[in-house]
Amino acid sequence: MGKTVIVLGAGMVGVSTAVQLRMRGDQVILLDRRGPGQETSYGNAGLIQSEAVQPYGFPMGLAPLWKVVRKAGVDVNYHLDALPSLAGVLAQYRRNSQPASYARIALEFSRLVAHAIASHQELMDVAGGQHLVSQHGWIKVLRAPRDVAALVALAQILEREFGVPHQALDTASLAQLEPQLRGFAGGVHWTEPWAVNDPGALVQQYSDYFVQQGGQLVRGDALSLRADGSGWQVDSQQGPVSAEQVVIALGPWAPELTRPLGYRLPLFIKRGYHMHYQCQPLSRPVHDADNGFMLAPMQRGLRLTTGAEFARMGSPATPVQLAKAEAIARTMVDLGPAVEDQPWLGARPCTADMKPVIGAAPKHQGLWFHFGHAHQGFTLGPATAKLLAQLMHGEATLVDPEPYSPLRFM
């Protein structure tokens, strides 16, 4: 008989963890305050990526940094009152983005990304969800020919070093792929990634499979977690539930639980916004690399997703990036009217070294960490869930787990 495990958090990362543990015969309770895939996992661009081998680093160089400071671009915004509490972790983020450190981090990150599509495929083979997926890749576009040439050169390096396929696009070939797109000199078509037209629905699909296989899905308060003899207990709507082990897969809410337990991990959030529009002018997601936003075809319409906003968790929405991006997007395609009255707001869980935290909590028996995926939780959830389940069961691991261990911050 397997272990008893509570998984806290029902986003892509938590649901995938629950599935992997249930596959190994564990008795698993998946707990969230809401339904599966209704928070951060719902609001992303819906990509399952293979080319994302280079995590988003801190802006390097005076010109990009000065642009951020002045809030002159579309891709980055910040709340001034959040900066004092973020100063220390952003300093670490900047140090880790220096070329020597970044090269090692990107290599370690890429080893997880290499398993992303295959791990999703394994889940879809048993859980379904293929009807939500388009396997036609996505496009990064630029307006200046010299910038296109630099992007193509980078794509060639990534293909040579990481095996990531691509197609270079000039104005004519871009028009063939996306005839309704306007104003670009060209770009790169990443041909291998998958695009999901309802990210929350895919998480729900995996969750339904978990329940069909005997897993238990409950609503409750993850922050009520407490030691219970040799195990753990947490409050649910059905009353307290207990297990031998617990996995914290709370994404941006992980610090609210780990800090009271004595863990000072270098975690922070990047907020993001999206809005849907009543049109479908694109056949695949398109990233405006000049301005740092993406247009992605979804079931609800064309989803516009913004870049990063540095703010306190729970602070009021300031969708200035979305307004700027919408104005630019209307010059790119016939955008149509907005679907929602208010934009969606979510938070990405980030670490100072751009890698997720995966492994046993150093100070507590039976406590496991699985969070910090930043921009790639939707892509990496099934792969890192498999890695964590292998660690919990003493199995051979798909990659060396040491670069992602919580011990790196101790």
Tracing tokens 């870049």 back to the chain, one arrives at 307
Mean pLDDT for the chain overall? 97
Distance CA 249, CA 51 (A): 24
HSE at residue 42, side-chain half, CA atoms within 13 A, is 16
Sign of CA dihedral 148, 149, 154, 159: positive
Residue 2 has pLDDT above 90, yes or no: no
* Residue 163: count of CB within 10 angstroms of its CB: 12
**pLDDT for res 148:** 98
* Amino acid present at 159: E
What does the pLDDT look like over 268-326, one tens digit per residue?
A: 999 999 999 999 999 999 999 999 999 999 999 999 999 999 999 999 999 999 999 99
Distance CA 45, CA 288 (A): 13
Q: Average of pLDDT values for 214-243?
A: 97
What does the pLDDT look like over 63-85, one tens digit per residue?
A: 999 999 999 999 999 999 999 99
HSE at residue 392, side-chain half, CA atoms within 13 A, is 33
**pLDDT for res 1:** 61
Q: Average of pLDDT values for 317-337?
A: 98
Q: Which residues have a Cβ under 8 Å from the Cβ of 306 and sit 6 or more positions away?
A: 74, 75, 272, 273, 274, 292, 293, 319, 321, 322, 325
- From the list 30, 62, 400, 391, the residue with the least C-alpha distance to 209 is 30
What does the pLDDT look like over 156-206, one tens digit per residue?
A: 999 999 999 999 999 999 999 999 999 999 999 999 999 999 999 999 999
Residue 126 has pLDDT above 70, yes or no: yes
Q: What angle do CA 132, 20, 256 make, to 5 degrees?
A: 90
What does the pLDDT look like over 382-409, one tens digit per residue?
A: 999 999 999 999 999 999 999 999 999 9
What does the pLDDT look like over 351-383, one tens digit per residue?
A: 999 999 999 999 999 999 999 999 999 999 999
Residue 134 phi/psi, 5-degree rounding, is: -110, 130
Share of the chain above pLDDT 70, in %: 100
HSE at residue 238, side-chain half, CA atoms within 13 A, is 10
Residue 23 has pLDDT above 70, yes or no: yes
**pLDDT for res 153:** 98
The number of angstroms, rounded, from the C-alpha of 16 to the middle of its chain's C-alpha atoms is: 13
Domains of the chain by range and CATH? 1-52+101-132+195-264+354-410 (3.50.50.60)
Q: Kindly give the pairing relationship between strand 216-228 and strand 231-236.
A: antiparallel
Could you give the residue ranges of the DSSP H alpha helices within 82-229? 83-96, 99-113, 116-127, 145-162, 171-177, 199-212
Residue 238 has pLDDT above 70, yes or no: yes
Cα separations (Å) of 333 from 107, 179, 184, 243, 326?
A: 36, 10, 11, 52, 10
